[in-house]
């Protein structure tokens, strides 16, 4: 039901839906690995909508290869001192808390997850990135310059950070798949409405078979996208493994959104290329969905690895 709500939000404004989905992603470590005391203190206001969260895994030199992250959380007498630079943070600078992944040791088992506050001495943010789309949501770098955090801000065990990060992304990818589906549905709706109005060569353009087939392929892509995220979500609700299905859904739905929004611009002809119609915005918003929460190359890697495991 949550995913269907995201789909509906995205059909109106993808940036709002992405913001809700990223908030859910940032709550995942606390909701899944936090102690009852941590959840009482931080999850309750987050779920009540009083606080907005951000998820901070990526770094300037470590995106797809998350295990290459270098931000450090050095142990102190009563907690941690965090030093390093994180990148690409949706809600950066405006979030009330950060699910922050930082190094407490070496190698892939040397990363931990900390629930960091949004404001602290030594914490500063870069200017918002000048993005192609999703302008309503800020994306920034964050500089942690010896920020001290209490020990009770550790989520899960020390060294468990990457498994927590990847579990959160499995769940988050369902959100992005639903958002991409809503965006694609909206583009299809605008294209169909336009094709029923516009005439060329004496008939409505939807009645030209070449264009009708384009619309048919767009509709098939939207339906397929929706089916994949619902399939993964049902597996998740049933308590079954769903990582591979989440990657299939993210890959299918975001590729569908890119294709359908691009084709919607085509259906509208020259008008599609202007800001008088929303389809050019849809196309710019679709592009990033093939990139964040694991690029679509990384989704293929996840699927291929699960096939290799048998
Ligand atoms: C608008 C926006 C919002 C974002 N929000 C967040 C956020 O809230 N939190 C967060 O932590 N991150 C966020 N990100 C970061 C995003 O997750 C990364 O950009 C993404 O994971 C890719 O990392 P990268 O940009 O470093 O590209 P790279 O990892 O450098 O990849 C470059 C290219 O190489 C390909 N590639 C890399 N490795 C392989 C491989 N093994 N096989 C095949 N191809 C490969 C990639 O697919 C890509 O095409 C956001 C990014 C954007 C653009």
Per-residue pLDDT band for 240 (boundaries 50, 70, 90) equals: very high
CB of 57 within 6 A of ligand 1: the answer is: yes
Among 21, 22, 58, 247, residue to substitute to test ligand 1 (most atoms within 8 Å of Cβ)? 58
CATH at 27: 2.40.110.10
248 CA → ligand 1 middle, Å: 17
The answer to whether residue 63 sits within a structural domain is: yes
Question: What's the pLDDT tens digit per position in 86-123?
Answer: 999 999 999 999 999 999 999 999 999 999 999 999 99
Whether ligand 1 lies within 6 angstroms of the CB of 141 is answered as no
Q: State if residue 302 touches ligand 1 by the CB under 6 angstroms criterion.
A: no
Could you tell me the distance, in angstroms and rounded to a whole number, from the CA of residue 197 to the centre of ligand 1? 40
First-last CA distance in the chain: 31
Indicate whether 107 and 214 sit together in one domain: no
The answer, yes or no, to whether any atom of ligand 1 lies below 6 A from the CB of 26, is no
> Does the pLDDT value for residue 239 go beyond 90?
yes
- Extract the tokens encoding 79: 């907690």
Specify the pLDDT at position 292. Answer: 98
Which domain, by its residues, includes 291? 164-309
What is the number of other CB atoms lying within 10 angstroms of the CB of residue 2? 13
Looking at the chain, the whole-number percentage of residues with pLDDT higher than 70 is 100
Q: How far is it, in rounded angstroms, from Cα 170 to Cα 24?
A: 12
Q: State the catalytic residues.
A: 293
pLDDT at 310: 80
Q: What is the DSSP string of 62-95?
A: BSS-GGG---EEEE-SSEEEEEEEEEEEETTTT-
Q: Same structural domain for residues 119 and 236?
A: no
The percentage of the chain sitting over the pLDDT mark of 90, rounded to a whole number, equals: 100
Does residue 5 fall inside a structural domain? no
**CB distance 261 to ligand 1 below 6 Å:** no
Average pLDDT of the chain to the nearest whole number: 97
Report the greatest alpha carbon distance in the chain. Answer: 80
DSSP state of 59: B
Encode pLDDT of 7-63 as tens digits.
999 999 999 999 999 999 999 999 999 999 999 999 999 999 999 999 999 999 999
189 shares a domain with 212 = yes
Which domain-ending residue is among 160, 192, 208?
A: 160
Number of structural domains (the chain) is 2
- Mutate-to-test residue for ligand 1 from 17, 29, 63, highest number of ligand atoms within 8 A of CB: 63
> Does residue 155 sit in the same domain as residue 168?
no
Q: Answer yes or no: do 153 and 197 share one domain.
A: no
5 CA to middle of ligand 1, Å? 26
Question: How many H helices and E strands in the chain?
Answer: 10, 10
> Residues 274-296: pLDDT tens digits?
999 999 999 999 999 999 999 99
CA–CA gap between residue 173 and residue 245 (Å, rounded): 10
Measured between alpha carbons, how far is 176 from 168 in angstroms, rounded to an integer?
12
154 and 24: one domain?
yes
Please indicate whether residue 15, judged by its CB atom, sits closer than 6 Å to ligand 1: no
| Residue 85 sits in the same domain as residue 222 | no
Same domain, 116 and 204: no
- Does any domain span residue 93? yes
The last residue of one of the domains, among 112, 145, 160, is 160
Residue to mutate (ligand 1; options 131, 176, 291; most atoms within 8 A of CB): 291
Q: Same domain, yes or no, for 134 and 196?
A: no
Answer yes or no: is the C-beta of 89 below 6 A from any ligand 1 atom: yes
Please state the rounded mean pLDDT for residues 71-78: 97
Mean pLDDT, residues 211-228 taken together:
98
Output the six-digit token pair for 283. 């196309």
Nearest CA owner, ligand 1 atom 14: 88
CATH number of the domain encompassing residue 234 = 1.20.140.10
């Amino acid at each position: 039901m949550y995913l269907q709500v995201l789909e509906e939000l995205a059909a109106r404004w993808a940036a709002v839906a992405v913001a809700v989905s990223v908030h859910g992603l940032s709550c995942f470590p606390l909701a899944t690995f936090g102690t009852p005391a941590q959840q009482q203190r931080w999850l309750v206001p987050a779920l009540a909508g009083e606080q907005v969260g951000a998820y901070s895994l990526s770094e300037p030199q470590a995106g797809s290869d998350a295990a290459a992250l270098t931000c450090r959380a050095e142990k102190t007498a009563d907690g941690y001192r965090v030093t390093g630079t994180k990148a690409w943070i949706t809600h950066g600078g405006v979030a009330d808390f950060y699910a922050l992944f930082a190094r407490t040791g070496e190698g892939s088992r040397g990363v931990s997850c900390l629930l960091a506050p949004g404001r602290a001495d030594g914490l500063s943010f870069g200017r918002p990135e000048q993005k192609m789309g999703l302008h309503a949501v800020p994306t920034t770098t964050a500089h942690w310059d010896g920020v001290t955090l209490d020990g009770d801000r550790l989520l899960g065990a020390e060294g468990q950070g990457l498994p927590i990060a990847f579990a959160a992304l499995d769940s988050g990818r369902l959100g992005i798949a639903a958002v991409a589906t809503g965006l694609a549905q909206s583009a299809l709706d605008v294209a169909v409405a336009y094709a029923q109005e516009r005439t060329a060569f004496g008939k409505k353009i939807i009645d030209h078979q070449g264009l009708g087939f384009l619309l048919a392929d767009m509709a098939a892509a939207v339906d397929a996208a929706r089916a994949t995220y619902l399939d993964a979500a049902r597996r998740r609700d049933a308590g079954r493994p769903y990582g591979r299905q989440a990657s299939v859904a993210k890959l299918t739905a975001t590729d569908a959104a890119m294709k359908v929004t691009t084709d919607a611009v085509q259906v509208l002809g020259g008008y599609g290329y202007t800001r008088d119609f929303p389809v050019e915005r849809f196309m710019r918003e679709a592009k990033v969905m093939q990139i964040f929460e694991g690029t679509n190359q990384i989704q293929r890697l996840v699927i291929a690895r699960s096939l290799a495991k048998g």
